[in-house]
Amino acid sequence: MYPPRTTGFFAHPRGREALLSIGRLAGKGGEGRVPGLTIALIAAQAILYTMVASGGPPGVDALIHWGAKSGPLVTDAGQGWRLLTANLLHRDALHLGLNLLVFAAVGTAVERSCRWWDYVALLAVSGLATMTGSLWWSPTVSVGASGWVFGCVGALLVLGRRARTGAGKARMGWFSGESALPTVLVFLWLGWTSVGVD
């Protein structure tokens, strides 16, 4: 239904009227609003990778030391915090680059389209949910920010569906549903074919 409701993700007036589409990082939604949290998380992931991979791509032991998801450590040792920290770590430069590229686009779009605490809640829930699902699927070591990416893509799909008429339609057409499928499929394929990423 348009216009969208006025709570939650749709509370920001500019977000309601000028939602961003992927790849339009300097778009009209949230004009003049710097996506500070997205930038901070991108910087944190890049800095962490530089620290962890100072001597080359990090091994399993290094990833575990820095907070990767490891089934026995989460379930037997009670280190549930790993379900959050694993979202900040990456197994190699390609994995980091792909995640940061897509997260920069979708994270910026979501952050500019909603209240900051909604964005924080979205990232926390999507990060915890994907790492918990990963733990259920396999107890092996796993890292990556794909959960945040999927959470943001899901939020933008909802925003795109809400903006299928009026001013939002032109700006959010990419996220109306079917067009986002290639992004989702690429990330699923990477998860199935990559070691340490599920």
pLDDT score of 108: 92
Instruction: Say how far apart CA 89 and CA 19 lie, in whole Å.
Output: 30
Does residue 16 sit within a domain?
no
- The domain total for the chain is 1
Print the domain residue range for 123. 33-193
pLDDT of amino acid 15? 46
Digit-coded pLDDT (tens) for 122-169: 999 999 999 999 999 889 999 999 999 999 988 888 877 766 555 555
Q: What is the model's pLDDT at position 194? A: 60
Between the alpha carbon of residue 4 and those of residues 10, 159, 162, 195, the distances in Å are 6, 9, 6, 41
Q: What is the pLDDT of residue 11?
A: 52
For 43, other C-beta atoms within 10 Å of its C-beta total 11
List Cα–Cα distances, 195 to 27, 60, 71, 98, in angstroms: 36, 11, 16, 15
* Bond prior to 57 in cis (omega within 30° of 0): no
- Please state, in angstroms and rounded to a whole number, the distance separating the CA atoms of residues 88 and 68: 9
Give 173's pLDDT tier (boundaries 50, 70, 90).
Answer: low
Tens-digit pLDDT profile for residues 42-72: 999 999 999 999 888 899 999 999 999 999 9
In a domain, 27, yes or no: no
* CATH code, domain with 86: 1.20.1540.10
Query: Which SS3 state, helix, strand or coil, does residue 69 take?
Result: strand
Q: What pLDDT, on a 0 to 100 scale, did the predictor assign at position 113?
A: 86
